[in-house]
Amino acid sequence: MLNLKKVLGAKPKEHVKAELAELLTPWGEALDPDHVLEEHPDPQFRRESFQILNGRWDCAFVASGHEPTDDLEAIVRAAPTPETSAFDREIVVPFSPEATLSDVKRQLQPDELLWYRRAFEAPALEGKRLLLHFQAVDYACAVHVNGRLAGTHVGGYLPFTFDITNLLAEGANELAVCVADPSEFGGRLRGKQRFDRGDIWYTAQSGIWQTVWTEVVPAAYIQSAKIEADPKTCIVAVGANVSPLPGQADTFMLEVLDAEGNAVGSATCSVDSDSCAEAVLVPDARLWSPDDPYLYQLRLTYGDDVVESYCAFRSIEMKTDSAGHKRVFLNGKPLFMKGVLDQAYWSDGLMTAPSDEAFVHDIEAMRACGFNLMRKHIKVEAARWYYHCDRLGMLVLQDMVSGGDPEIKTWQWSYKPTLFKVSWNHMRDDTPANQEKLGAGDAGYRAEWTETCRGTVQQLGNHPCIIGWSLMNESWGQFNARKACSMVRALDPTRVIDAVSGWYDQHCGDFLSVHNYFRDLVVWRDRRRGRAFFVSEFGGFTHHVDGHSALDEAYGYEPYDDIDEWRRAVRDLLAHMDSLEPQGLAGYVYTQVSDIEEETNGILTYDRRVNKLA
């Protein structure tokens, strides 16, 4: 039954125009701007020779007059480098200029360009190559080394790399980056960012927001690797893409070591193309699980190139349990997913965690609260977060980043599905008219979503913590969910798929996946396809903590002034959801890890200084 009083209480209101309070997390307060996030950025693809380029850069905001819907790659590529005098302030990378920890605290406008500049020393290469890595830049950028273009990139959430060897000078070198970011005005992928922040939408950020680093590699080196550890055969298989020297054959070797560094096995092959593969049998392989997150170490050697990595043996399947209910099975045993929504915004860093320890804090805090899964919501996180989930045993359901039409489609996205549950099964997403209604009418957006979805699966596919992919959320920019589900299934048949999370189900994927904030929490049957029933969002109970909230105003689905009443309500609700497991509930995702700006429905406060549930 629909709780109309609760619906009216959660109705979106006019957005608060007040300034956000400046809240520092404990790690932001202790931050050294000259030494930011110094750990190796990609623990699954490590080399010894790397140099972090985070810290203080010069920056400049330049009016360009371009429109948000222009070809932004062409805009940043053609933009002339500003005069030295225009670089009139410093920015702390990797924090966006809008974030407190950047020391800029200034919004990049849709008709502006943001320029970064810094000097760096190139190491002695002696026939080797120097790669320049960006883990994420929002949204379109052009990268220059010593005034020459190294390359361009479009898309705010995935990493990219340039070989800058031929652009280097002896000694000091200059690195410059030009960025354009239209946020919602460009109709592109943006996640939860909006200039018009408020309710469930958050401050739009721009520019470099994850780590930048250089890495020395041999002339012939490993570019990427796909790792598969099969618990049924106990075989680790690695397929690598390599950059060979013309006319030269090299040797590829895969070594497997246990967690203590003892050799388990190895295999070697000769390589005379740009790809290779090897496999190693691991007798009596130890399985990975949340209770025993055991990781095997890998060493990949191609000629003179050595890459350190890791893997884990675990299986994910959809099966029917002994009571006849469809659910997820981990390592052949039924898994009840006790999840929490992780939007991963920080009061001082926005989408950028203030430190590596901050990642660990959130994961361990959620484990202590009894959750075994975090749903990474509408965001691709830095690689180190997934690494910590791998080693700490936190399961992950990974969302795809959404976007589309800049207009909030309040009726289609919110009011209609909230008031009329019958609409959930009567909204096709494969017709032009309906795609327009859902904010996905633009063919360029649909192509970008598809390519980014594919890239996300390929980028994160080696992490054992990820047990599933969540494709469409609450119909924001939803289109062709059935085709998207088929594409992801082909790319990765080893994980489950939540094709449509919320409503407007397209009868595909592994779950009947609903968001239920306003109706009785009961198990609903998928009578058409017999899929598992998953409550992929619920809860959202609100408690505002004075001195630890970004605004005096608060937004959420059920407010509690008294912290003890809030705790009882949350615990009772979670216990009720646990009680539905025998009736066929496959799992749930509680909203959410932390408060964010106007929302105060987190278990943790926005500054991570108070655990409301503790």
Looking at residue 246, what is its pLDDT? 87
Q: Which residues contact 179 (CB under 8 A, 6 or more apart)?
A: 76, 108, 113, 114, 115, 116, 137, 138, 139, 140, 141, 206, 207, 208
13 has a pLDDT exceeding 90: no
Quick: pLDDT tens for 80-107. Answer: 999 999 999 999 999 999 999 999 999 9
Looking at residue 162, what is its pLDDT? 98
CB atoms within 10 A of CB 18: 11
Encoded tokens for 614: 């503790």
Nearest residue to 378 via CA among 352, 408, 342: 342
Looking at residue 14, what is its pLDDT? 66
Looking at residue 470, what is its pLDDT? 98
When pLDDT is cut at 50, 70 and 90, the band that residue 555 belongs to is confident
Looking at residue 607, what is its pLDDT? 98
Looking at residue 185, what is its pLDDT? 93
Looking at residue 37, what is its pLDDT? 81
Nearest residue to 20 via CA among 497, 479, 345, 404: 345
When pLDDT is cut at 50, 70 and 90, the band that residue 471 belongs to is very high
What's the mean pLDDT in 44-70? 96
Helices 356-368 & 383-392, crossing angle to 10 degrees? 40
249 has a pLDDT exceeding 90: no
Three-state SS annotation for 184-199: HHHCCCCCCEECCCEC
Sign of CA dihedral 499, 502, 506, 512: positive
Cα 598 from chain centre: 22
When pLDDT is cut at 50, 70 and 90, the band that residue 15 belongs to is low
What's the mean pLDDT in 6-11? 69
Looking at residue 354, what is its pLDDT? 97
When pLDDT is cut at 50, 70 and 90, the band that residue 36 belongs to is confident
Nearest residue to 96 via CA among 61, 146, 148: 61
Looking at residue 584, what is its pLDDT? 97
Quick: pLDDT tens for 532-548. Answer: 999 999 999 999 999 99
Cα 474 from chain centre: 18
Looking at residue 11, what is its pLDDT? 66
Q: Measured between alpha carbons, how far apart are the two ends of the chain, in Å?
A: 32
Quick: pLDDT tens for 271-324. Answer: 989 999 999 999 999 999 999 999 999 999 999 999 999 999 999 999 999 999
Q: Which residues contact 152 (CB under 8 A, 6 or more apart)?
A: 73, 76, 77, 140, 141, 142, 143
Looking at residue 400, what is its pLDDT? 98
What is the C-alpha separation between 162 and 217, in angstroms, rounded?
A: 12
Question: 55-68: string of b/e by CB count within 10 Å (b at 16+)?
Answer: bebbbbbeebebeb
Q: Above pLDDT 70, what percent of the chain?
A: 98
Phi-psi region of 597 (alpha: psi -120 to 50; beta: other; left: phi over 0): left
8 has a pLDDT exceeding 80: no
530 has a pLDDT exceeding 80: yes
When pLDDT is cut at 50, 70 and 90, the band that residue 266 belongs to is very high
Give 481: exposed, middle or buried? Use CB within 10 Å, 0-12, 13-18, 19+.
buried
Nearest residue to 93 via CA among 34, 26, 153, 157: 34
What is the C-alpha separation between 189 and 405, in angstroms, rounded?
A: 10
What's the mean pLDDT in 519-544? 96
What's the mean pLDDT in 206-233? 97
576 has a pLDDT exceeding 80: yes
Looking at residue 557, what is its pLDDT? 86
When pLDDT is cut at 50, 70 and 90, the band that residue 155 belongs to is very high
Looking at residue 501, what is its pLDDT? 98
Cα 41 from chain centre: 14
Dihedral angle over CA of 206, 210, 214, 216, nearest 10: -140
Which residues lie across from 198 on neighbouring strands? Answer: 201
247 has a pLDDT exceeding 90: no
What is the C-alpha separation between 404 and 477, in angstroms, rounded?
A: 5
9 has a pLDDT exceeding 70: no
38 has a pLDDT exceeding 90: no
Q: How does the average pLDDT of the chain come out, rounded?
A: 95
Helix ranges restricted to H, 62-215: 72-78
What is the C-alpha separation between 210 and 54, in angstroms, rounded?
A: 9
When pLDDT is cut at 50, 70 and 90, the band that residue 16 belongs to is low
Domains of the chain (ranges, CATH numbers): 33-217 (2.60.120.260), 221-303 (2.60.40.10), 317-591 (3.20.20.80)
366 has a pLDDT exceeding 70: yes
Quick: pLDDT tens for 164-205. Answer: 999 999 889 999 999 999 999 989 999 999 998 988 999 999
Q: Are 301 and 560 in contact (CB under 8 A)?
A: no
Nearest residue to 588 via CA among 535, 543, 550: 535
When pLDDT is cut at 50, 70 and 90, the band that residue 598 belongs to is very high
When pLDDT is cut at 50, 70 and 90, the band that residue 22 belongs to is very high
